[in-house]
Amino acid sequence: MLMIEGELTLPIVLRHLVGEACALVDARYGALGVLSENGTTLDQFLTVGLEPDEEFAIGARPSGRGVLGTLIIEAKPLRLGNIADSPDSYGFPPGHPPMTSFLGMPIKTRGEVYGNLYLTDKIGWSEFTSDDEALVGVLALSAGIAIENSRLNQRVQQAAVHEDRNRLARDLHDTVIQRLFAVGLSLKAMSTSAGTEGVADQINRAISDIDDTIRQVRSAIYELGTTGDEQGLRAQILALARDLRPVVGFNVDISFDGPVDSGVSDQISEHLLIAIREGITNVARHAHATQARIAVKVYDGICMLEISDDGRGLEQSATGGHGFGLSNLQHRAEKLHGKFWIEKSNEGGIKLNWQVPLRISDRADDGAP
């Protein structure tokens, strides 16, 4: 009988279970589909009995349509003499070997469905029997326990990581930030009494660098305290910048300041991402730039987006008759009770400033084009 050992990964355990099921009921092919967290589609799909070239010829794994979808919806055992005779049959993709008899068994533990076990082509018989169904049901229960334990283990690990992140955030705030702040105050006091020419300027530059470091560390602290969701606003901005690289022709520098993930609502995030896309597209079309920078800052109740470049600048772009095509950015900012303006960047090109309050009144319209 199958022994589930702790050091084995979940896919290895599940594939072994499928092999055991095929051997018990003389099935030529077997598969196991693990449902997604919302229970509507197949997140993983493991097979037994197919040769590597057959796997390659089939292509993408099924997502849960046809007869497989029937099992997802109804979550009860299903036996068929011929898969093609089922009214829910979706048909096989090109390159798929022919299969006739079918036995499907939901994988569930304590009433929660985690996936389905599929067996096809009973060797020497035209269809699977009720005894086969009972045997496969025991293995399906074992698979459900394995999946449940794996997900519980993942949640425990995520909770531990989250606790470590919170501890690190507290340590950063209580030690690094406070020490940097103390050094900055000392330098500021020295700058007022420094008599040597140029020393005061050097100290002030050091103070500015320390202030910038404090802002960056604070930003890291804010994000360490969040859940670490990979779909956070930071991750979406980074992904968008990667998507826009072929458009602009170079990598765009990105900086964050403040609680970007935790402090910006979904409504503002949607408009912010569109503003970034339009701003970078404008750089690509009109600026003739070799560098560009995106800065997203969240502080004092506002969300601030700055997009700067080293391109032709205000005068040259204006004479070119482009008009920047940025009226939509202003419209979006105003709809969120914010503002938008353009100025010269430190690099000699253009700097776009898009600023909106974090708390928007009920009158704010999120239906900007």
Q: Which domain CATH number covers 279?
A: 3.30.565.10
| One domain, residues 150 and 73 | yes
What is residue 217's predicted lDDT score, i.e. its pLDDT? 67
| One domain, residues 293 and 272 | yes
The domain that holds 57 is classified in CATH as 3.30.450.40
| One domain, residues 215 and 295 | no
| One domain, residues 243 and 307 | yes
| One domain, residues 180 and 256 | no
- The answer to whether residue 368 is domain-embedded is no
| One domain, residues 265 and 207 | no
- The answer to whether residue 146 is domain-embedded is yes
Band of residue 314 on the pLDDT scale cut at 50, 70, 90: low
| One domain, residues 194 and 127 | no
- Specify the number of domains making up the chain: 3
What is residue 352's predicted lDDT score, i.e. its pLDDT? 93
Instruction: Using the Cα atoms of residue 296, residue 299, residue 302 and residue 308 in order, give the sign of their dihedral.
Output: negative
Task: Please give the residue range of the domain that contains residue 203.
Answer: 165-224
Separation CA 159–CA 169 (nearest Å): 15
| One domain, residues 93 and 186 | no
- The answer to whether residue 147 is domain-embedded is yes
| One domain, residues 24 and 135 | yes
| One domain, residues 175 and 117 | no
73-88: per-residue pLDDT in tens?
Answer: 778 899 999 888 877 7
- The answer to whether residue 366 is domain-embedded is no
Reference 307, options 327, 323, 284; nearest CA is 284
| One domain, residues 257 and 218 | no
- The answer to whether residue 30 is domain-embedded is yes
For helices 233-248 and 266-282, angle between their N-to-C axes, nearest 10 degrees: 20
Q: Is the full-model pTM beyond 0.85?
A: no
Compute the average pLDDT of residues 219-238: 67
Lowest mean pLDDT among 23-32, 111-120, 127-136, 172-181: 172-181
| One domain, residues 272 and 182 | no
